[in-house]
Structure 1
Amino acid sequence: MSKVWFITGANRGFGYEIARAALDSGDRVVATARRPQEAEAALKEHGERVLALPLDVTDTDSVVAAVAAARERFGRIDVLVNNAGYGQLGYFEEQSPQSVERQFATNVFGVFDVTRAVLPVMRAQRSGHVITVSSLSGIIGIAGSPVYGATKFAVTGWSEGLGRELAPFGIHATCVHPGMFRTDFLDPTSVGHADVEIDDYAPFRAEQRAYLEASNHTQPGDPAKFGPAIVRLAALGTPPERWAAGSDALASFTQRSRELADSATEWEELSRSTDIPQD
């Protein structure tokens, strides 16, 4: 039986590539976006198997309405892809409280609200798969993007715990960690930068901006291959809790696992010293 996908941010980037791959595999897709007309135009060749809907993940009413429309049209939701989000880059002290709140509202609380709306459908089915797009920055903290990384670490831990809660209902959860892919993530229309300038950070800020500009559209990851990989994940009977997308993300997995093991060994005595002695 074909699956029904509910994808946020489906009008471009990863969301579009996942939608296209799912449709190419014969599945049906609810393509949601703040500008659904873009998703509808890009996927129109697939006809009635596509339902393009307006959805702003920071607007609870639009989330609830989109999930209701999806269920009315297709009767079920088999795969939720939490993809919508953006990068708020810059040094922590150079980001205003308002910009930090906006970043969390989209990348964390928006993910929570969409998932909260979809889960009753999946529980009723006793099946489903929640796929959440995190980041390489959700594996290793990176200077120059700690707020963005904080949102991605947040959804990573949330996804892992959520998956264990949902397992009794036959629902899986996978957190996807993409590395650097050649999308529009670093374009001015997508990325946000620090909105406060502090002189001490000026040289670091300039260096980061130069690096990002040089990296844009030269990244090693191929977004056209990302979509089919997600479709493969969704087809697995036992999907992973976490998956690294790209060789750079895979290297970060390996680096973090070694760092944790080395830290545990180095500080083992101090760690054990806090226990109550056992008789």
Structure 2
Amino acid sequence: MNSGKVAVVTGVGPGTGVAIVRRLVGEGYSVAMLARSEERLTALANELPNCFAYPVDVTDFHKLHDVLDRIETDLGAPEVLVHNAVGGAFGNFLEIDPKVLDLNFQTNVMAFLHLSRRFAPAMIKAGRGVIIATGNTSAWRGKKKFAGFAPTKAAQRILAESIARELGPQGIHVAYLTIDAVINVDWARKRYPEAPEDFFIQPDDIASEVLHLVRQPKGAWTFSAEVRPYRENW
């Protein structure tokens, strides 16, 4: 049943994004799903109740704001925002095209800024709300083959911390979830064909941690959360 609660999830791909959407729907949220693939979103909206497809490239900020306006008109102001969209690239600083770093910055940092700025005022007025960014190991250390990616995730984490310090005292929970793992999706399986099952983290388990952060009481908030398989070397 639709409880009147609204959530927005970006980066609704076949792994983590879909798992987060399913978990929020199970909690009674109407979920606005953002991703570039209209076909994928439409299929999911037809499969699950209270899911709504809003295809958009989150780096096209003019179109993004149009979509966010439509979400508020169609569903109402969201109580939960999960920025799961991610831009990534592999290569050292001599190999990467500098344009790749800029594009990843737009996805990982600037889109998160636009989304938070758009929805925070209504959350402040209501005195409640949750904003979560999903990150990864690159947010904490820059390995040599991650020059086109890690700087943007580190910036995303620091932006989230700045937002958290601003909004926390106003009743809005802001959290950064570091996924220190290889996620169990098709492309990762192909890249690590010999890896055992417990080498991967399951999207459903990531979604469980997102829901845990959403549910946390005001007296015990987590800003920086981490999830990793027991085999992961950290």
Coarse TM-score class (shorter-chain normalised): 0.7 to 0.9
Q: Is the 8 A contact 2:23 2:208 kept in 1?
A: yes
Q: Is the 8 A contact 1:244 1:250 kept in 2?
A: no
Distance 1:184 1:130, change over 3 A: farther
Partner of 1:229: 209
2:19 aligned partner, one-letter code: E
2:29 aligned partner, one-letter code: D
Following superposition of structure 1 onto structure 2, how do residues 52-67 of structure 1 map, counting pairs within 5 Å? 52-67=53-68
Task: List alignment gaps of at least 5 residues for structure 2.
Answer: none
Distance 1:152 1:3, change over 3 A: same
Distance 1:178 1:109 in 2: 20
- Residue-by-residue CA offset, 1:39-88 (whole Å, 9 max, x unaligned): 221242333x1111122111112221221111112222011011111321
Task: List alignment gaps of at least 5 residues for structure 1.
Answer: 189-211, 253-279
Q: Is the 8 A contact 1:6 1:31 kept in 2?
A: yes
Distance 1:80 1:215 in 2: 36
2:160 aligned partner, one-letter code: S
Compare CA radii of gyration and give the structure with the larger one: 1
Distance 1:110 1:130, change over 3 A: same
Identity %: 25
Q: Normalised by the size of structure 1, how large is the TM-score?
A: 0.74
Q: Is the 8 A contact 2:130 2:214 kept in 1?
A: yes
Distance 1:132 1:250 in 2: 22
- Give 1:8's match in structure 2, choosing from 10, 19, 43: 10
Distance 1:123 1:216, change over 3 A: farther
- Residue-by-residue CA offset, 1:76-119 (whole Å, 9 max, x unaligned): 20110111113211111111221221121222212222222222
Deviation at 1:184, TM superposition (A): 4.7
Q: Is the 8 A contact 2:77 2:119 kept in 1?
A: no
Distance 1:217 1:91, change over 3 A: farther
- Give 2:226's match in structure 1, choosing from 241, 244, 249: 244
Partner of 2:166: 165
Q: Is the 8 A contact 2:98 2:148 kept in 1?
A: no
Partner of 2:35: 33
Partner of 2:91: 90
Q: Is the 8 A contact 1:108 1:155 kept in 2?
A: yes
Distance 2:179 2:187 in 1: 12
Deviation at 1:164, TM superposition (A): 0.7
Q: Normalised by the size of structure 2, how large is the TM-score?
A: 0.87
Q: Is the 8 A contact 1:80 1:130 kept in 2?
A: yes
Distance 2:187 2:106 in 1: 18
Local SS of the residue matching 1:93: coil
Partner of 1:118: 119
Partner of 1:24: 26
Distance 2:139 2:126 in 1: 31
Deviation at 1:186, TM superposition (A): 4.7
Aligned length: 228
Measured on the aligned residues, the alpha-carbon RMSD in Å equals 2.5
Higher share of residues assigned helix: 1
Distance 2:149 2:40 in 1: 26
Q: Is the 8 A contact 1:83 1:132 kept in 2?
A: yes
Local SS of the residue matching 1:173: strand
